[in-house]
Amino acid sequence: MRRYLYGLFLLAYAGAAAALTQAEVMAGAERLYRERMRELQAQHQLDADPDFHQRVQRIAQPLIAQAAHDYPESAAWPWEVHTAPEGDDNAYAMAGGKLLVSRAYVHKLLLTDAELAMLLAHEIAHAVLRHNLLEYEEAMRLEPAWRQRPFAELEDAVDNDSALMRKLAPLGMRQEAEADREGLKLAWRVGWPAPLLARYFQKLARASHAPNFEQFAHPAPSQRWKAAQELAAALEAAGR
């Protein structure tokens, strides 16, 4: 009887761990994104610069169409691309393809259209590669107690619990490098010249106060620039 109960416990435990799905992660992201959009709306910031908003849409939509082709799961997602003139958010994509891009950030770095395409493609790559889901799974592997707790708490912890964030940093670093690589390839497949895409990373490195050092969960900007140049050269050599 004891053994049987233990077996049941294990089953329940495994079930809880397996319960987190892409759909659940997307629902959580949708809720957080909606909250942020409501805040921006209340501050008259949401998509408030029509020229900038149209520029971002014009560059983002072909990337999203390419992603739908290359990552078929994402074709069914309710993608959204919004912009804000100011604010702390540089640019991000939440699970399920919810993007926000800051005009202040794009203007500060003086991004060309190709460089903006690289920024967007990096964010789109995070979404289609399911980086959020993989991060939550890694958190539950590192700290199994999370399997028993509500998902909303874990969602908050990966952004605010510094001890957990430190443990997740190696994965975050790999995900950033992967989003750089797969994002550059995605934008290149859309038709952007690879060397022009790579220059986004040159601008990041130039704007950085410490280009040779890793930043929290991001590889060193100089390293990202070097990797992008190498990938661009390889894509150029391979041809379309």
Residues contributing to the site for Zn ion (CB under 5 A): 176, 179
- Closest CB to Zn ion among 121 and 235? 121
Smallest distance, Å, CB 107 to Zn ion? 20
**3-class SS of residue 78:** coil
Query: Maximum CA pair distance of the chain?
Result: 69
Smallest distance, Å, CB 44 to Zn ion? 28
Handedness of CA 68, 70, 74, 80 (dihedral sign): negative
- Closest CB to Zn ion among 48 and 169? 169
Q: In what order do the strands lie in the sheet with 98-102?
A: 80-84, 98-102, 91-94
Smallest distance, Å, CB 174 to Zn ion? 11
Is residue 121 within 8 A of residue 183, CB to CB? The reply is yes
Separation in Å, CA 204 to CA 121, 201, 208, 213: 15, 5, 6, 13
Smallest distance, Å, CB 240 to Zn ion? 26
Residue 233 φ/ψ region, left for φ over 0, alpha for ψ in the -120 to 50 degree band, beta for the rest: alpha
Separation in Å, CA 86 to CA 45, 105, 140, 157, 171: 8, 8, 35, 26, 30
Is residue 78 within 8 A of residue 8, CB to CB? The reply is no
DSSP 91-118: EEEETTTEEEEEHHHHHHTT--HHHHHH
Smallest distance, Å, CB 218 to Zn ion? 7
- Closest CB to Zn ion among 48 and 173? 173
Smallest distance, Å, CB 223 to Zn ion? 14
- Closest CB to Zn ion among 115 and 176? 176
- Closest CB to Zn ion among 99 and 179? 179
- Closest CB to Zn ion among 16 and 129? 129
- 102's CB contacts (< 8 A; 6+ apart) are 83, 84, 85, 86, 87, 89, 90, 91
- Closest CB to Zn ion among 147 and 179? 179
Smallest distance, Å, CB 57 to Zn ion? 21
